[in-house]
Amino acid sequence: EVAIKENLGKIITAKLHKRKPWWLPGLVPDLGWFCRTVTVTAPDGAVYNFLCFRWVKRGQTIEIREGKATKPLDDKLQYLKTLRHNELMQKQFLYYYRFKEYSKGMPHATSKICINPTARFTQISHNGVVFLYPITVIKITNFTSTFLHTCKPSTVGFFLFGFFFVKMINFSSEYIINNWNKDTFFGSQILNGINPIMIELCQEIPENMAVDKEMKLEGGRTLQEEVENKKIYKVDYKALDKVKPNEKGKHFIAAPICLLHQQLDDSLVPIAIQLFQSKSELNPVFTKQGSDSTWTLVKIWVRNSDFYVQEVSTHLQRTHLLAEVFWVAAYRQLADIHPVYKLLIPHGRYTLQINVAARKTLINENGIFDDFTGLGLKGHEELASRAFKETTYESLCLPADMQKRGVGDLKNYYYRDDAMKLWLAIQDFVKAFVNIFYESEDDVVNDSEVQAWVHEVFTEGFLENEESGVPSTLKTKDDLVEYLTMVIFTCSAQHAAVNNGQRLLGQYSENHFAETEMTRAIEGFKKRLKQIEVEIKARNKNLPFPYKYLLPSEIENSVAI
């Protein structure tokens, strides 16, 4: 806090300088100073709050503006316009925040090749992110691989495999050990596991699946009849078709189609599985009518394919990489004082650090994914490119995605139920935000920084693919609400659903807004999330295997893990 003795008039900026004390030895490292806020009280009682929330290095001078958020056209003084322009030019000039292509057909990523300690956004000094992969895990991986290649598909073999994992005991693992090979559990994992966005209503029997449409199902009805009754759903892993497996060892990649039936008790069970995409005598359709061990193995192949799609597309592409594009484009195109930038800051926390570290240790040549999965790095890149071509704006907007997949009436789909509550809560919060800072549609159209941000996301993230339906410009307040809701949902709730995050959604430890209206909006958002938490916990009490991934207390604000 700073008190001044003479009236300086209206204060619009403040400069901060961190100098080196004369007595400090030159070899002592600069640990930096994290300045949160500067409060200036004038002689007439006027109080000016300058929000900083950044690191200041030794010998560095920074200039910060008074805390109220402003859009480009809100700045009337030429000095502020020049300050804003220079800030954006400096951001875009930084090598660390330029885009580059890392893999053909994938969203472009930041040029950062290391964690730059001078580009820290929070009070926590983060010099790097380390992925822990203990030697014990590597030994387990090697043992499991050897075990599966030598073990025959028998009841004894499956029992021994379950016995091997009995050490990892808690309620979830114990429940899984006792139920993992049941059809009902298989169906529940398709619905509420870590890849819940694959399932869709089966409108007609797939032409490339040699399944008998007259096969009898529970209740005596045929498959064709149940398709017409909208009781048949499918998951299709066609993106894996003919993807070459990892050349390091003996690996195989399936590209299955799986049909599931919603039974009279509302449970969802698999009824037919074809492991590859083309009909042939060498590619039969498996049903439960065969041996138990064969049926179990076929379901394992589906889960194996689901892992690849989940990790490469659902998790990496649709949350981590898109969150990076959203954040880097925002950093480059939005001034620090812009209300949208202030809104997005919590949702970019550590995203660059985690993604840069992943490119160095997880998805690099001879990295963990390359060495320890059947897909390998080349297969990963091929799958990623294929899957991203199918990513659309509609699929990223939850209500539209649910409608397109035809899953509105699907029973026990807790991901859908919880995700929709969170989407609507975020949407209402964003509406309040937009109404505070944008009075008309023209305010959106004429916001040059927001338009530049959206356009850069379109060009660098979605590679100018107009078929994706991703907008390159926004024309109305509703457009802005939907777009910001999609961004925040992707970075928070959707990532939690496919990864299960750890920091509380809605908990803004650093409040970048000085407006009382935004304070009220944030408090209202927190109350809404607490109510959703209560509702989810009440429902979970009656479930044998509770769905917790979208508990607000389990959701990170950003892609930070």
With cut-offs at 50, 70 and 90, classify the pLDDT of residue 464: very high
Calculate helix-pair angle for 183-192, 414-437, nearest 10 degrees. 10
With cut-offs at 50, 70 and 90, classify the pLDDT of residue 363: confident
Pick 150 or 89 by higher pLDDT.
Answer: 89
With cut-offs at 50, 70 and 90, classify the pLDDT of residue 356: confident
Asked whether the beta carbons of 463 and 107 are under 8 A apart, the reply is yes
Q: Which of 50-59, 393-402, 408-417 has the lowest mean pLDDT?
A: 50-59
- The response to whether 315 counts as a known ligand-binding position is yes
Give the pLDDT mean for 238-243.
95
pLDDT at 561 over 80: no
What b/e string do you get for 181-201 counting C-beta neighbours within 10 Å, with b at 16 or more?
Answer: bebbbbbbbbbbbbbbbbbbb
Residue 21 phi/psi, 5-degree rounding, is: -60, 140
pLDDT given for residue 275 in this prediction: 97
16-46, pLDDT tens digit by residue? Answer: 988 877 666 666 677 788 888 888 888 888 8
pLDDT given for residue 364 in this prediction: 85
Calculate helix-pair angle for 322-333, 351-361, nearest 10 degrees. 130
- Those residues whose C-beta lies under 8 Å from the C-beta of residue 48, and which sit 6 or more positions away, are 11, 14, 39, 40, 41, 42, 66
Asked whether the beta carbons of 453 and 484 are under 8 A apart, the reply is no
**Residue for token pair 């000095």:** 79
pLDDT given for residue 58 in this prediction: 82
**Residue for token pair 């995700």:** 419
Q: Which domains occur in the chain, in start order?
A: 1-67 (2.60.60.20), 99-131+312-554 (1.20.245.10), 181-306 (3.10.450.60)
pLDDT given for residue 122 in this prediction: 43
Pick 522 or 431 by higher pLDDT.
Answer: 431
pLDDT at 455 over 90: yes
pTM across the whole model: 0.86
Q: Which of 85-94, 170-179, 211-220, 252-261 has the lowest mean pLDDT?
A: 170-179
| DSSP letter for each residue of 415-434 | HHHHHHHHHHHHHHHHHHHH
- Those residues whose C-beta lies under 8 Å from the C-beta of residue 541, and which sit 6 or more positions away, are none
How many other CB atoms are there within 10 angstroms of residue 465's CB atom? 16
CA distances 213 to 205, 220, 276, 305, 410, Å, are 8, 13, 19, 25, 22
> Which alpha helices (H) appear in 166-238, and where do they start and end?
171-179, 183-192, 223-228
pLDDT given for residue 170 in this prediction: 57
- The response to whether 261 counts as a known ligand-binding position is no
Whole-angstrom Cα distance, residue 275 to residue 290? 15
What is the percent of the chain where pLDDT is above 90? 56
Q: What is the dihedral of CA 216, 192, 107, 384, to 10 degrees?
A: -40
- The response to whether 30 counts as a known ligand-binding position is yes
Whole-angstrom Cα distance, residue 66 to residue 83? 13
Whole-angstrom Cα distance, residue 174 to residue 169? 6
Cα R_g (the chain), whole angstroms: 26
Q: Which residues pair with 56 in a beta bridge?
A: 33
Give the pLDDT mean for 219-229.
95
pLDDT given for residue 140 in this prediction: 47
- The response to whether 347 counts as a known ligand-binding position is no
pLDDT given for residue 159 in this prediction: 57
Q: Which of 119-133, 273-287, 391-405 has the lowest mean pLDDT?
A: 119-133
Q: Which of 22-26, 183-187, 427-431 has the lowest mean pLDDT?
A: 22-26
Strands 33-41 and 2-3, by their bridges, are parallel
What b/e string do you get for 109-125 counting C-beta neighbours within 10 Å, with b at 16 or more?
Answer: bbebeebbeebbbbeee
Residue 315 phi/psi, 5-degree rounding, is: -90, -60
